Amino acid sequence: MVSCGSFAQVSSSDDEEDSLAKTRSQGQNSRRPEETMEGKMRKRKKVSLNEESDGEEEETERKRKKDDEETPPKELEPDDAKPVGEPVKVTGRGTHYGQFEYGGNRYELEDSVLLHPEDTSLEPFVAIIKDITKKQDGRMMILGQWFYRQEDAKKRGGGNWVVKDTHELFYSFHRDEVPAESVIERCVVNFVPAHKQLPRGRGFIVREVYETVGKKLWKLTDKDYEVAKQREIDLFVDKSLARLGDLPDL
Reduce the DSSP state of residue 165 to 3 states and report it.
coil
pLDDT digits (tens, 9 = 90+) for 212-230: 999 999 999 888 889 999 9
Amino acid at 59: E
Average pLDDT on 103-116 reads 96
pLDDT of residue 94: 96
Concatenated DSSP letters of 7-52: T-SS--SSTTGGG------SS-S-S-GGGSHHHHHS----B-----
Amino acid at 33: P
Higher-confidence position of 5 and 174: 174
Q: Are 199 and 244 in contact (CB under 8 A)?
A: yes
pLDDT digits (tens, 9 = 90+) for 113-162: 999 998 888 889 999 999 999 999 999 999 999 999 888 899 988 888 98
pLDDT digits (tens, 9 = 90+) for 3-58: 333 333 333 334 434 433 343 334 333 333 333 323 333 445 666 666 555 555 55
CATH architecture of 82-244: Roll (2.30)
* Beta strands, E only, the chain: 82-84, 89-91, 94-97, 99-102, 105-108, 112-115, 125-134, 140-148, 168-179, 183-186, 189-191, 204-211, 216-219
